[in-house]
Every structure is written in structure tokens, then in C-alpha cells.
Structure 1
Amino acid sequence: MVSTTTESPAEASSFASSSTSPYIPATKHILSKAHLEAFQRSKTHQDIIDFVEELNEDIVGKKLSEAGEGSERTRPIIGILDSVLEIAKSTPPVDNKLSRFGNPAFKTFYDKIGEASKDLHLRIPGLPHEAIHEVEVYFKESWGNKQRVDYGSGMEFNFLCWLLCLTKLGVFMKEDYPFLVLGVFWKYIEVMRYLQSTYWLEPAGSHGVWGLDDYHFLPFLWGSGQLKDHKHLRPKAIHDPEILEAFSKDYMYLACITFINSIKTASLRWHSPMLDDISVVKTWDKVNQGMRKMYRAEVLGKLPVMQHALFGSLLPFPKPEEDPELKKALEEEGIPEPDAHGHIHVKGETGWTMDCCGIPVPSAFAAAQEGATPHGGTPTFAGRSGIKPIPFD
């Protein structure tokens, strides 16, 4: 179980006024395969896995429509996400007729979030004020990349880490876990859908999330968790329009399928091959097991994603003196130099894994048909080759 503090608000306030702070702004530490392997051996890695697993177990059989209004601890988080949405609505896309790629107005939105971040965090009950400068880094990095105007599972991972840090600080309790997924996380997805459609955020890495969704992974992991004990619905139900219409308001997996169908033409087989493959698995329990394994391997285990991960005092990165294997590897191999974007490109590998940047691909929201107007029209989507399915059954 993820450890949490038990200090009272009064103790937290006193602690925040201390002249010395144990908190440090979260920064990048994974610069090589050796760093990635050290992370995978670390307690931080296990804490993240445990958090994902516990949240998964706590939403089995629970519907989105039954999430409720949350507690006094979680309602302010919903308010913060509402404020992010308002900031986006007050920052409309600029006229960008000549480009199907990310809209420059996103950079303005990103800066506004940075300016508002501290005040937004001051709304969180029980959050020590001196911890804000550490946890807000995860929050600010949850909305996309300012330079590339893109979004991917690494940014989604930052939002997960933001929730985990707040949990470690005692902001949330175990009884809040179902709402953290069905209320808070799903609200985050709704805000992200607005940002993706408004600013035409490009899929980070150009490959989407391995044939799942251009941007997200966790809604499929937790969404299959919701359904894993369902008596009637089966994975093949994603191909039934009537079932999607009836149940997408209750289950995030089905909601994501409905969303994909709303912005892409052709079949899942063409633009979302992994989702199509998974639909033949017999049970949602099997799907959920596969998604959890896949998250470890394809998100937490991939350098192109995890080189952007952030570590501070709450989610610490192991020091070389604490990890003899890391120390030895760094002495033998050295540390690779990041490129102009701060990215590491692994030599000697083939496929998408060697490059987190890839070839820029327009957002599926971008008007793809000839003559369509910016931020309007019917988008189409080109299939992607080279995506290696991972067996789920």
C-alpha cells in the first residue's frame, strides 16, 4: 500500500512555516538505460505500481455515473480542474489555416497554467505550502509539451504522479481512491479532450499509445478494471454501436472507444489495431491483466517515455551510491547527451523505441479532408504500420 502521512492540518501548517524544507522541485534523472534500470529496481517504481494497482482494485464494478461528488479532500481537486478548463476556454486557438499541426495558442495556455499554479495549489486542504514547489512541477507538466505542442502517455504519467504525491502528503485517504479515478482522473481526461481538440495537440512520438489511443493509456487500464467482473459485457462489445451508446456513460473503456469512433473514420482494425486485437480476448479480467503488464513494459519500461519522468523528495530517484549496479554502469558507459529538445535518442535500436519524437503527425482533430476549415470539418486518420501487438490471452 502507498504510504501516507498522518499529520493534522495544524501540524502541516507549522511544518510549512519551517525555515528548512525537505521538499525539492522535481527534475529529470533518467538519461540512459542504466538510469531506467535503476528506476525499475527502486522503491519509487514499486510505489507507482502499487498506486496504480490499488486504484484499479478499488473501482472494480463501479460506474462513472455513480462516482458521486467526492469528499472535502477531493472536491477542491475537481475545482482546480474546472479552473484549468476555464483558462483554456479563455485562450482560444489562433487562426492557423496553413497548418494541421498543434495550434500556437497552446503555448499561451501553458504559460497561464504556470502562472496560476501556486494559487491553484493553495486551494488544496492539508497540502503543506512548502511542498507546493515540488508537486506543482508534475501538475504543470500534465497538460502537454509547450515546445512541441504535443501530448502523450508521459504527460498522463505526470498527472498520476501528482495524485500520488498528494496521497503521500496525506491530502487523500484510502477511501478517496474510487473517486480519484472515477471523479478526478476522468475529469482530467475530459479537460484533456478539450485541450486536444482545441489546440490540435500532436500525439507525442507520432505513434500514439501502441494502437490504443493517440494520447492515453490509463483509461484503458482502469476502464478494463471497472468491467472485469461484469456479468454480461464482454470485450467484443466495443464493436456494437448500441452497447457503446448505452454503456459509455458508465465505463471509461467504452467511453474511450466511443470517442475514438467519433473522430476517426474507417475501422478500429485500421487506426487502432491493438484495441481491435484485444476485443477478441474472452474476459475483461484478462484484458485488465494485460493492460497492467503492458503499462509496466511500454510506459514505465521505455526510455523514450521515462526520460521525461520527474523525481524529487516524494518520488526519489536512487543515487549511484545507493545502487551499485547504477554506479558501475555510469562509470563504464557514461551519460548520453540530450539533444536540443532535452531528449535522449538510443543508438542501435530499431522501431519507434529509438526516438521519443518521431515524425510529427497532425492531431486527428485537425481538418484532414481537402477544403475543411480549421477547427471544423470531419477528420480522417491514416493507419500506422510497425506497431507490435502484445498478447493478452
Structure 2
Amino acid sequence: MDESEPVRQIYDHKDLAEFLESSAFQDIWDFVERLNCSVRGLSGDALAGPRVPATSLVTAELAALKELAAEVELLPAETGRFGNRAFRTWFSQLQERTPRFTEELLVKSDQTKRYGPDLQAYFLGAFGDPMRIDYGTGHEASFLLFMFCLHRLHLFRAEDFPELVLSVFPAYLATTRYLQQRFTLEPAGSHGVWGLDDYVFLPFLFGSSQLIGKDTEVPPVAARDRELVLELAPKYLYFDTIRFILETKRGPFAEHSPTLYDISGLENWSRINAGLLRMYKAEVWSKLPVIQHIPFGILIPFRSAARTSTERLPAGS
């Protein structure tokens, strides 16, 4: 294995506890909070269009990956298996494409190729597991770390964070939703009916931030009205994700998504957003089965001591 290749560092609860107390995690959590704050009160149509060159590059790659998935011939379903093995064929194509894609990003960031393995690791980890044929919040977290690395490489500045949340992240959601349906990916680490969602968390967090201050115009209880959900979905990640749930699950909303149903009974979006932020740390980043597969390298070291010199990270990170 190349010394520069990111490696797994979390194997048990002791490792996880160390990570959660590290400066690396504090940097990641600060990034989450800043993304969350960046879209407060912003609808999805608030952006006039891509301002950052990397946005077009990333969204185009995500769209291409979605098109490739549509071209992969499905294999006969196996008795007792949830996912379609053809997902592995698509994943092989992802592995072939990713080095070229990350090299293009590094050219735009004016950084050396030494950061390529980090970008590749987090991008490859964002679409599911080819052996288990599943997808969950750990893979979503890997895409968050990919975006974090784009910021560390100065491809997205703090003032560009709304573009990350409202342009790049929705493109990622569109691709992963297609993968879930096309290859019937099994939910990884799902809490079942009492979980927030089978596959994702961040669109609820960022989406609730978009709605802060809009309690009169769009009250939380609107999530219980299918027509309102469809009307609001194009503007708000929260309602777009509920729309997807309503399209893919059968039965009453209160039965297949009781946690989301209960949340819609709260009085304002500010309270919902604050609760989801706490829940995200507790139910995703503090869970060993979810976080144990995340690798650590140069851009995201496991321990602060891993930064042996200021030259290891791009200046200003």
C-alpha cells in the first residue's frame, strides 16, 4: 500500500472516542455547522447559477455516474438477497473514472497530486459498498468529507458554502437515489421504521436550516400534507427528501416514517434544526458501525500529531 493512501484508524469504541475528541473531528464538525448556517433561510432557487468552477466539474461527474448506472445491465435477482450484483459492475466503472476526475479537481485547485489519494478515498466511499451492496449514512458522511477536502483545497471558500449545499449536494443525492432504486441497495445501518430515513440524514439537517424563519409561510406540519410536500420539494431539501420517501414507501406517512411525522409536530424550524444537529452527531458520527470505515490521510489526519509540518496541508486550511 502507498504510504500516502488514506487508511482506516477506527477499530473500536476507544478509537472512536479519541477521534471525537480530536482537532480533526472539531474541524469536520465546524464545517458541518458552517454549511448548516450558510443556507439558513435560503430556498433552493436562491442561487443564480454556479459561481465556482469546481461546481460544474463535480455535478457533471455525478450526472455521468448516474448515466452509467442506467446503462449497466441488471443481473437476475438472487433469492434472499436485497441488492442487485450489477452494482459491482457500476462500482468498477466508478473506480476507473475517479483518478482522472480527482486529478482535474487538483489542477483547478493548483495543488499537487499528493492529495489525490485522499480525494479518491472519500469520493469512492460515498456511493455504497460493492461487496455488501448497501448504502447508508456512513457513505453520505464520506461525501461530506469529500466536500470538506474541496474546501481545504480552496476550491470552495466559506462564502461558497451555499453552493456546496444547494448545488453540489443535491446532485449527489440525485445520483445516490438512482443507485438505490436501480440496484435495490440495502440500507446500511438502518434503524428501521424508527430511524429518520433508511439512507440519509444531511438533507433533513440542511433542509430544516433553509426553513428557519419561514414558520408562518411553511409550518413544520406541512410535512404531513402530500400536496404541500410536492409543491415545496423543488425549493427545500427537507421536503424534497420527504417527497422521495413518499414515492418509494407505501402506507401512511405516520406509519412508515414515525420519527419524521413526530418532528413535524414541533413548533418551529429553528428547534427542529437544532435537534437534528445534535441527532446527527449522536446517531451518525458517534456510532462505531457507521464511522469505523472512514479512512484518514493527509487532508484529514486521525490525530493532530499526524500533521508533522505546516506544509502537509494547503496553506490557509
Q: Give the TM-score normalised by structure 2.
A: 0.90
Match of 1:26 in 2: 6
Match of 1:112 in 2: 93
Q: In 2, Cα distance between the equivalents of 1:248 and 1:171?
A: 28
SS in 2 for 1:74: helix
Q: Which stretches of structure 1, 4 residues or longer, exceed 6 Å deviation after superposition?
A: 319-322
**C-alpha deviations, 1:107-166, integer Å up to 9, x for none?**
111111011111111222114322112220110110000110000000000000011012
Match of 2:19 in 1: 39
Matching residue within 299, 302, 311 for 1:317: 302
Contact 1:269 1:276 in 2 (8 A): yes
**C-alpha deviations, 1:320-354, integer Å up to 9, x for none?**
999xxxxxxxxxxxxxxxxxxxxxxxxxxxxxxxx
Q: Please tell me whether residue 144 in structure 1 is matched to residue 128 in structure 2.
A: yes
Alpha-carbon shift at residue 92 of structure 1 (Å): 3.1
Q: In 2, Cα distance between the equivalents of 1:199 and 1:250?
A: 28
Contact 1:223 1:252 in 2 (8 A): yes
Match of 1:278 in 2: 263
Match of 2:237 in 1: 252
Q: Please tell me whether residue 164 in structure 1 is matched to residue 148 in structure 2.
A: yes
Contact 2:136 2:190 in 1 (8 A): no
| Bigger proportion of residues as helix | 2
> Superposed, which structure 2 residues align to 1:364-383 within 5 Å?
none
Match of 2:223 in 1: 238
Change (3 A) 1:75 1:320: closer
- RMSD of aligned C-alpha atoms? 2.1
**C-alpha deviations, 1:218-260, integer Å up to 9, x for none?**
0000010111111411111101122112111100101111111
SS in 2 for 1:151: strand
Q: In 2, Cα distance between the equivalents of 1:37 and 1:99?
A: 36
Return the index of the structure with the highest Cα Rg: 1
> Superposed, which structure 2 residues align to 1:1-393 within 5 Å?
24-70=4-50, 71-96=52-77, 98=79, 101-124=82-105, 125-126=108-109, 127-208=111-192, 210-230=194-214, 231-318=216-303
Matched to 1:32, the amino acid is D
Identity %: 38
**C-alpha deviations, 1:16-49, integer Å up to 9, x for none?**
xxxxx9x822221111111111011101111111
Q: In 1, Cα distance between the equivalents of 2:104 and 2:193?
A: 33
Matched to 1:112, the amino acid is Q
More displaced stretch, 243-252 vs 153-162: 243-252
Change (3 A) 1:194 1:292: same
Change (3 A) 1:97 1:40: closer
More displaced stretch, 80-89 vs 219-228: 80-89
Matched to 1:253, the amino acid is Y
Q: Give the TM-score normalised by structure 1.
A: 0.73
Change (3 A) 1:279 1:119: same
Contact 2:45 2:235 in 1 (8 A): yes
Q: In 2, Cα distance between the equivalents of 1:209 and 1:296?
A: 20
Q: In 1, Cα distance between the equivalents of 2:49 and 2:290?
A: 33
Q: In 2, Cα distance between the equivalents of 1:88 and 1:108?
A: 9
Contact 2:123 2:143 in 1 (8 A): yes
**C-alpha deviations, 1:27-79, integer Å up to 9, x for none?**
21111111111011101111111111111111112122333431223221112
Alpha-carbon shift at residue 208 of structure 1 (Å): 4.9
Matched to 1:182, the amino acid is L
Match of 2:312 in 1: none
Unaligned runs of 5+ in 2: 308-317
Contact 1:25 1:135 in 2 (8 A): no
Unaligned runs of 5+ in 1: 1-20, 323-393
SS in 1 for 2:104: coil
SS in 1 for 2:127: coil
Matched to 2:17, the amino acid is E
Aligned residues: 301
